[in-house]
């Protein structure tokens, strides 16, 4: 038979392997970096025979996304082999590739230590040097169950039962074998660059009712340079950890007496929030939104009517007042719909855009709580746009452009995903199809490419998720636009059309920043704590050299504060170098030094945190310089924002 490889037609004998074919169709240099083959939608091991129905084979290169997944999955097996050799009593469970790495869960009598990881890594390197072959064999379900029971791997039988089916594949290299779909690299010697990173606890099957296992995380890359680049990025991320910087900058804290996932905002952190929220209010008013506010708790019947009780209650908190059940709100849409229903709405009144900085509560497992990034109590910049069906595309585009403006302001690039109907959902198929089509049509009209994220929509409608990239190229999901035909039906939202008849509106749920807490956490790490001048809680600090300049320093502080600048004066009897270092650690944008020469001239000497030092300037010049720096991002982004302290 003939098979096409990279545009070349090749005669292939029966029984030829994928490797045999690719060796003829690609250069020797390229083949060295091939880890697997693709035939249509099927990914195959290089050692696998070419399927008789295959007409085209493409190589999967090591540094491609698919290639890295295969390398990482193979590295996970390599790690499991090393663990079993060093700790024979450990039982193997599952070990997938994940973003940028892999993990394996083990049932072992004690936690693995950093010294254990070093030993495991050394054993892995030994296996790489031995260049062992990965081989695959098919087994019946009964044979596979017996095979792993004989090895003492008791978790495998449960996996076989859960997956169902008559036939399973088992991959082996050296003395190690595991239940696995594959594919894998041909030999262990192709796993050239890896590092074990950490150990964490993980419940079997993700349920707290099950036994806690030991999860070892690692990373693997196509070559040592890529690994080093990733490890350097991890180190930079550790330096930028918002929890560490939050303490260093005195922004926020958590406290055991308060409870997990609850944030205490300190004065400086509270000021950052206030500046950000005030900015958002102004931007929403400019775009035709109306500011509303709903209560923190609503009767349980409302949550039942909306579908939250059936589809979302595991994420909610409930309480009882006067023998009446109430739900603490996890989102703000119910109140906004009731506000819409307060009067008869005409087609001329639409769209209605309701905006609320609403405090919500969601139950998160204690194991996933993480500083500002994953909390139980947070504020959403939530809005609900209720519109006519013919207005839907324009409203989606308007929200998307709003997101674009804000992301540009902070220097974020972003991508879009459309998340489709999940298994647990409400509404008709027809409504879901209309909602999904509306989101796709809007992005197509904008010329914005998007990926499809199957089954990850909200339970009441599909959504556009905006995935931003920070300065370390990490991806964060913040903004979202959800299209909902279902809740307007459940709450009987109507408007009177130009025909005098009642019609059903459509509702968009959307956030721009998402969780204010989470977005501030992302900002802290994105800017390494050096928040933009307009958002910094302290924009400048006056530093006197000796007590002789204290009086002028106070006058300068009063003048600059009067110009709308957030300024402090450090007049402690400390050396100037000490004061400067403290200000630098606190990431304060400008340090204004006052010595005898500055007092005599009525000036200050400016030092900036980025190393650009204008030197001695008048107070008026200093004020204008700081105000211009605060305004600069808005001018660059084409936004008009009146900055005022």
User: Which residues are marked as active site?
Assistant: 333, 362, 380, 382, 384, 463, 509
- Cα three-residue angle 442-448-453, rounded to 5 degrees: 80
C-alpha span between 463 and 453 (Å, rounded): 10
| Per-residue exposure over 170-207, b if at least 16 CB sit within 10 Å of its own CB, e if not | bbbbeebbbbbebbbbbbbebbbbbbbbebeebbbbee
Report residue 272 as tokens.
């950052």
Report residue 548 as tokens.
């002789």
Query: Could you give the dihedral angle defined by the CA atoms of residues 525, 526, 528 and 531, in that order, rounded to the nearest 10 degrees?
Result: -110
C-alpha span between 552 and 557 (Å, rounded): 9
User: Strands 377-387, 506-515: parallel, antiparallel or unpaired by DSSP?
Assistant: antiparallel
C-alpha span between 503 and 387 (Å, rounded): 11
Place of tokens 């339970």: 459
- Residue 384's DSSP bridge partners are 354, 509
Helix axes 429-446, 392-410, angle to 10 degrees: 50
> What phi, psi does 411 have (nearest 5°)?
80, 25
C-alpha span between 58 and 40 (Å, rounded): 9
- Residue 54's DSSP bridge partners are none
- Residue 495's DSSP bridge partners are 503
- Residue 509's DSSP bridge partners are 384, 482
C-alpha span between 96 and 180 (Å, rounded): 10
Query: Could you give the dihedral angle defined by the CA atoms of residues 184, 185, 186 and 187, in that order, rounded to the nearest 10 degrees?
Result: -110
| Residue 181 host element (H or E) | none
| Residue 26 host element (H or E) | none
Q: Report residue 224 CA to chain centroid gap.
A: 26
C-alpha span between 124 and 434 (Å, rounded): 52
């Amino acid at each position: 038979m003939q098979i096409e490889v990279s545009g070349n037609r090749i005669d292939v004998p029966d029984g030829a392997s994928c490797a045999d074919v690719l060796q003829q169709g690609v250069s020797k240099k390229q083949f060295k970096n091939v880890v697997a083959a693709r035939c249509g939608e099927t990914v195959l091991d290089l050692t696998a025979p070419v399927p008789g129905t295959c007409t085209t084979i493409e190589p999967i290169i090591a540094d491609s996304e698919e290639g890295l997944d295969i390398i990482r999955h193979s590295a996970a097996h390599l790690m499991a082999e090393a663990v079993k050799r060093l700790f024979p009593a450990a039982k193997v469970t599952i070990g997938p590739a994940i973003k940028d790495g892999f993990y394996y869960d083990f049932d072992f009598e004690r936690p693995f230590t950093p010294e254990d990881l070093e030993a495991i890594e050394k054993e892995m390197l030994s296996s790489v040097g031995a260049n062992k072959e990965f081989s695959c064999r098919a087994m019946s379900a009964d044979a596979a169950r017996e095979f792993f029971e004989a090895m003492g791997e008791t978790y495998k039988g449960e996996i076989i039962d859960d997956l169902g089916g008559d036939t399973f594949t088992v991959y082996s290299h050296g003395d190690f074998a595991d239940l696995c779909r594959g594919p894998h690299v041909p030999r262990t010697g192709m796993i050239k660059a890896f590092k074990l990173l950490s150990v964490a606890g993980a419940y079997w099957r993700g349920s707290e009712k099950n036994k806690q296992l030991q999860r070892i995380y690692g990373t693997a890359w196509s070559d040592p340079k890529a690994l080093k680049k990733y490890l350097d990025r991890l180190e930079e991320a550790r330096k930028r950890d918002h929890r560490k910087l939050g303490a260093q900058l005195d922004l926020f804290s958590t406290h055991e007496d308060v409870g997990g996932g609850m944030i205490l905002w300190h004065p400086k952190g509270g000021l950052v929030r206030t500046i950000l929220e005030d900015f958002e209010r102004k931007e929403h008013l400019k775009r035709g939104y109306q500011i509303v506010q709903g209560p923190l708790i609503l009767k349980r019947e409302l949550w039942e009517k909306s579908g939250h009780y059936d589809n979302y209650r595991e994420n909610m908190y409930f309480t009882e007042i006067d023998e009446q059940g109430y739900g603490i709100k996890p989102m703000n849409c119910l109140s906004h719909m009731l506000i819409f229903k307060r009067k008869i709405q005409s087609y001329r009144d639409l769209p209605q855009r309701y905006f609320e900085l609403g405090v919500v509560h969601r139950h998160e497992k204690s194991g996933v709580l993480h500083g500002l990034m994953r909390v139980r109590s947070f504020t959403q910049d939530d809005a609900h746009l209720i519109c006519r069906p013919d207005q839907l595309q324009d409203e989606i585009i308007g929200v998307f452009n709003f997101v674009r403006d804000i992301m540009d302001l902070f220097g974020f690039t972003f991508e879009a995903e459309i998340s489709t109907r999940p298994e647990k959902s409400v509404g008709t198929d027809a409504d879901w199809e209309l909602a999904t089509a509306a989101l796709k049509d809007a992005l197509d009209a904008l010329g914005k490419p998007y990926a499809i994220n199957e089954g990850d929509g909200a339970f009441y409608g599909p959504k556009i998720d905006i995935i931003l990239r920070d300065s370390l190229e990490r991806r964060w999901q913040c903004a979202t636009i959800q299209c909902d035909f279902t809740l307007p039906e459940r709450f009987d939202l109507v408007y009177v059309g130009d025909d005098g008849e009642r019609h059903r509106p459509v509702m968009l749920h959307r956030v721009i920043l998402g969780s204010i807490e989470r977005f501030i956490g992302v900002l802290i790490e994105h800017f390494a704590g050096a928040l933009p001048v307009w958002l910094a809680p302290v924009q400048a600090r006056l530093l006197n050299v000796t007590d002789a300049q204290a009086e002028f320093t106070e006058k300068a502080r009063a003048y600059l504060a009067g110009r709308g600048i957030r300024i402090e004066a450090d007049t402690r009897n400390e050396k100037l170098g000490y004061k400067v270092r403290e200000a630098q650690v606190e990431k304060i944008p400008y340090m204004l030094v006052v010595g005898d020469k500055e007092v005599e001239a009525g000036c200050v000497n400016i030092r900036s945190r980025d190393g650009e030092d204008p030197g001695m300037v008048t107070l008026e010049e200093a004020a204008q310089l700081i105000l211009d720096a605060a305004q600069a991002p808005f001018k660059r982004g084409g936004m008009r924002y009146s900055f005022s302290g």
